[in-house]
Structure 1
């Protein structure tokens, strides 16, 4: 690298570091959502076409139709067919035999003085299943639960239905010496001893909300020993019957799929809801391994189910998601490859590899469309200048440093002196922000891609007009030079000659007097505040000030017992030649008239 290129690359590196930092901060605490921008409408997953014909009554119609569909789906119960593939366990030998017994358990509400048991079990059937089968295993036996078994019987209200799987693994051995060769035939006189183990597991079919929780697919459930299942059910019945309160132990670490499969044997079966009970299940899928890493385990202990559903068996996709993917692919193919060229003058300092990735190289935002990418670069990365150049293979984006960017703050200056970011999570609790009104007065032009290809500015300088007009100029109060808050813009602070701090300061200074009594202090406080509020500056205004003072504060004078103190205050004004005798007499007469009103009011109340 030449020494002449080190300086220009350093100028490009600094804005890049700033935008990388802003990207990390935006990921932690985003300021806005990109899908709300006008040039990022394709990021919005939902459409607003239904708003044109929306009516309030349509909400009820939509909810009622949804409830009818749910009720119809609940009432439509089909036959349940189960095809058992086999049992997988590293502790089982292939010479062992396993017998499966399937039963349907119905849990009903217990009524008082009801002779029927709330729990009833119906045996569906039993069959022999292979242990650790391979791909050449025989066709599995299918057990079918008729749909009539899921209906109410004897008028009882059913809580939920569950399938009870019981596996009995039997191993036969000869009593005595068993280490003989395989060619030796055991004597008929020797006694054969069979050792059996029982494993069980329950699987909920219809839950307490009368909804079917099992769908068509392949299931793998981990079996537990019958003794452990019996002990757990006894404890649960004791707690439910006697209502014993006890602490529950919650495991800290969640069970992993590999760890769960080591707890016991795994039963693999295929489940299907069908209207034809005699129809055989076509199991052409390859035999799944219980420890497959691609499988996802739905663990449930005690009251829930522990099952593993194969991911490749069932795929749910909506038409909207498919259409969005097709749209993205079409836009990507149409856009071609994107190449970024960093220029200094006319010299290419660095050029990236061509790729169809429409991510922003600074904030890693997926724009999906070239037009959205250019709008994002222009509006969010203003420290650079961007120009789009068409190419037969795609587009080239020339990037240069914007020398006209000064980094000045274009928002409200009050936010700089009083930052509000982080106040919602401050130690002192939530803080109310200052309301600021910003008016957008310029309607942007229709978005189009050619505006990035050719520019009318011959110098290449991009002139951006401000879209926001309003509280972007800081005003200060002329009396104390404090900045005016945004919520105080409409108030005339210049006409306020007695601010609150000045009124408080005046009252505190009067309280410090020692050569006057308390009554005189209260009259002096009222008189000084009255003079500050109306701004009297001459002796000729004193008679009018006295009359206005009486009209405004006559109730406080009589309620607080300041009548004699106010007469003494008028006498002092007369002694200093400020208040003439005629005006003094008229002020006292006006005050006595208010006094007579108070006396009449008191007599009428008696």
Structure 2
């Protein structure tokens, strides 16, 4: 018995770890999926998108679609009729009722459409136009408890036609709003909502007299009638819809018959100084409840059903919710726009009767069945709860996504049986980016820009002809033909280190050989800082030590027999810097110190100093030449200045006859000079020919003598 229990514990431990891993991966993939399952070839039935429109796609189509959508939304919002169904008028001082036969149990409601127009002048207020839309008798304090059900047609309804929102001069209208005016007869004008209605204790008698005078003079209102008003915006000044389909409750305010005079206005206390919580007026004061619906039905039906609350829509897009008829029409239009291939595919799927497959999982350990699940007609993956919808897709998903297990398909008359066992050949080594393992802590979110990465996995893609999906590939194979369960992707996942510092080699350093990195930037900076901390040497010696250490690090001089070459190369590369900063004596002391330790010979010291002297002479010569050039430029500038100053001032009225003889004389003199030059050239030419002739004679006589 103990052996069986121990074996069962081992079975649970063997399946516990992979199950926990796949449960964790499921949660992570739900939050940040690595890939989409609908893009897999064996999950193509999850993808309902068609890419045929990409061939004829143009960027301008996006703008056209947006403009068309906005135009349709604006047209729908303005072409719909506004239907209001009033549930009742609620006030705490009244009594509940259910019928409108008694006028004391109902109130008179008048709805007006207020149009605020643009003003033509700045010094006047905006003109307001009130359009009456109708009057209704609304229940006073109806019982809305769950036990009392009202008939669908018992509530009064009022329809505002769409033509009221589309006037001929639409550009003149600024905004639209609804004004609700409720008249309650036989109700004394007392405090409402704890307010004194603009009356103070000091002038209450005066106000009552004025009110009584007004009531006596008014023949339109009954004695003791009270009017409550409320206003709601339908379209704002930007033509955006503000009232959406749903149920509304509006807080009403009593309309003042006698406004408070500015001379007698005083501060008053509301609710005896108590704090008024938000929405307290809805429980304290009078409210009007109604249902609002945008509909295309223009018939004014007083027995319209109560509109149910709909989902909140985006007011910025002015998107309307239609009735069931409009929804059906819109759905039909959408279906017509879908490609025919997708339609036929969906029709085939819907026409095929769904076969109920009873699937059970049988867990095996040490070739023995340990546990078996109940048979369920469920094609969800038990580890990641993915709905595969098909048996082949489920088996393919289990084999590829949960390779820590081995799944064998066993046909069953009523469904399928899937045998699950542990994959002993599973390679559990890390197959991801090795840089993530050795990344330094604290730098997870410190990147300020793109970072170069090196591909750590090389995948050879083979695209053979795909075989037809068949469940036979999931059957249990023979021992000789058993497929080795291994990872389908095997790549290069090693991590390299620098040979000198043993630090992990970053991806951006892969192209550079680690053996050639003798002087990294961090080592240069560290060397310079360490030399700066010396206190027993002067500044010149520090500079020579910095140059020498960086020079030795760059070229890798490590042996004594390399010092002679290192000194000569140092003098050649850094000689100009040494001469420029007057470090020649410090460099000589450095060479002498190396000679004391038998690292360099006196010949090397002479050659190195000779190179420095040569560089000094070259620098001095360049300085001298530069000074001479500057002096010549200064002299030329002075000559030009003196020449400009010595020029005579031009005659404002020159006589052309004075310049004519001079030009003739110049032409004659030029002609005479030209003839003289020609004669001289001819004489010279004759002399040259005589000399050449005499030389030829001498050469001829010499040759004869010889």
- TM-score (norm: length of structure 1): 0.71
1:469 matched residue in structure 2: 491
Matched, 1:105 2:114: yes
Deviation at residue 562 of structure 1 after TM alignment: 1.0
Of 123, 145, 148, the residue aligned with 2:132 is: 123
1:113 partner SS: coil
CA distance in 1, matches of 2:535, 2:159: 105
Of 400, 408, 411, the residue aligned with 1:387 is: 408
Of 223, 228, 233, the residue aligned with 1:198 is: 228
Contact 1:222 1:261 in 2 (8 A): no
Listed one character per residue, the Cα deviations across residues 397-417 of structure 1 (whole Å, up to 9, x for unaligned) are: 221112223532123333223
Matched, 1:564 2:585: yes
Deviation at residue 581 of structure 1 after TM alignment: 5.2
CA distance in 1, matches of 2:356, 2:569: 80
1:336 matched residue in structure 2: 357
2:219 matched residue in structure 1: none
Of 247, 251, 255, the residue aligned with 1:220 is: 247
Matched, 1:210 2:239: yes
CA distance in 2, matches of 1:226, 1:314: 38
Listed one character per residue, the Cα deviations across residues 457-502 of structure 1 (whole Å, up to 9, x for unaligned) are: 63655433442534x0122333343332232221111233455566
> For the aligned residues, what is the CA RMSD?
4.9
CA distance in 2, matches of 1:584, 1:202: 100
Listed one character per residue, the Cα deviations across residues 368-427 of structure 1 (whole Å, up to 9, x for unaligned) are: 343443333223322211123343433322211122235321233332232779923xxx
1:546 matched residue in structure 2: 567
Distance 1:461 1:5, change over 3 A: farther
1:93 matched residue in structure 2: 97
Distance 1:75 1:462, change over 3 A: same
Contact 2:86 2:289 in 1 (8 A): no
Of 284, 287, 290, the residue aligned with 1:264 is: 287
2:85 matched residue in structure 1: 84
1:423 partner SS: coil
Listed one character per residue, the Cα deviations across residues 498-529 of structure 1 (whole Å, up to 9, x for unaligned) are: 55566566556656767654323332332233
Contact 1:101 1:126 in 2 (8 A): yes
Matches within 5 A, 1:148-159: 150-151=166-167, 153=169, 157-159=172-174
Distance 1:159 1:389, change over 3 A: farther
Contact 1:332 1:368 in 2 (8 A): no
1:223 partner SS: strand
Distance 1:152 1:118, change over 3 A: farther
CA distance in 2, matches of 1:410, 1:267: 64
Matches within 5 A, 1:110-509: 110-113=119-122, 115=124, 117-129=126-138, 132=142, 134-135=150-151, 137=153, 142-145=158-161, 147=163, 150-151=166-167, 153=169, 157-170=172-185, 196=226, 198=228, 200-204=230-234, 206-212=235-241, 219-227=246-254, 264-268=287-291, 271-274=294-297, 277=298, 279-281=299-301, 287=306, 295=309, 319=335, 333-334=354-355, 336-405=357-426, 407-418=428-439, 423-424=444-445, 435-437=453-455, 438-443=457-462, 446=466, 448-450=469-471, 452-454=473-475, 458=479, 460-467=482-489, 469-470=491-492, 472-498=493-519, 503=524
Listed one character per residue, the Cα deviations across residues 421-471 of structure 1 (whole Å, up to 9, x for unaligned) are: 9923xxx7989877342433234664835364236563655433442534x
Distance 1:562 1:147, change over 3 A: same
2:54 matched residue in structure 1: 51
Residue ranges of structure 2 left out of the alignment (5+ in a row): 143-148, 189-221, 258-274, 631-706
1:469 partner SS: coil
Deviation at residue 266 of structure 1 after TM alignment: 1.6
CA distance in 2, matches of 1:519, 1:270: 91
CA distance in 2, matches of 1:441, 1:423: 31
Deviation at residue 156 of structure 1 after TM alignment: 5.5
Residue ranges of structure 1 left out of the alignment (5+ in a row): 174-191, 231-248, 290-294
CA distance in 2, matches of 1:396, 1:229: 81
Contact 1:201 1:224 in 2 (8 A): no
Deviation at residue 312 of structure 1 after TM alignment: 8.4
The structure having more radius of gyration, on CA atoms, is: 2
Contact 2:117 2:172 in 1 (8 A): yes
Contact 1:332 1:356 in 2 (8 A): no
Contact 1:341 1:350 in 2 (8 A): yes
Listed one character per residue, the Cα deviations across residues 127-152 of structure 1 (whole Å, up to 9, x for unaligned) are: 33456583274695654436155225
Distance 1:314 1:368, change over 3 A: farther
CA distance in 2, matches of 1:250, 1:539: 94
Distance 1:331 1:434, change over 3 A: farther
CA distance in 2, matches of 1:21, 1:228: 64
Contact 2:177 2:231 in 1 (8 A): no
Deviation at residue 86 of structure 1 after TM alignment: 4.3
Distance 1:88 1:112, change over 3 A: closer
Of 548, 557, 570, the residue aligned with 1:536 is: 557
1:598 partner SS: helix
Contact 1:386 1:399 in 2 (8 A): yes
Listed one character per residue, the Cα deviations across residues 254-279 of structure 1 (whole Å, up to 9, x for unaligned) are: x9xxx9999834223554235xx5x4
Contact 1:342 1:348 in 2 (8 A): yes
CA distance in 2, matches of 1:417, 1:250: 61
Contact 2:359 2:418 in 1 (8 A): yes
Deviation at residue 60 of structure 1 after TM alignment: 1.9
Aligned length: 541
CA distance in 2, matches of 1:406, 1:554: 61
Contact 1:222 1:266 in 2 (8 A): yes
2:248 partner SS: strand
CA distance in 1, matches of 2:395, 2:256: 64
Deviation at residue 14 of structure 1 after TM alignment: 3.5
| Structure with the higher helix share, 1 or 2 | 2
Distance 1:496 1:401, change over 3 A: same
CA distance in 1, matches of 2:155, 2:509: 84
CA distance in 2, matches of 1:388, 1:262: 71
Contact 1:172 1:195 in 2 (8 A): yes
Contact 2:427 2:486 in 1 (8 A): no
Contact 1:442 1:467 in 2 (8 A): no
Distance 1:499 1:67, change over 3 A: closer
Distance 1:538 1:200, change over 3 A: closer
Contact 1:79 1:144 in 2 (8 A): no
1:125 partner SS: strand
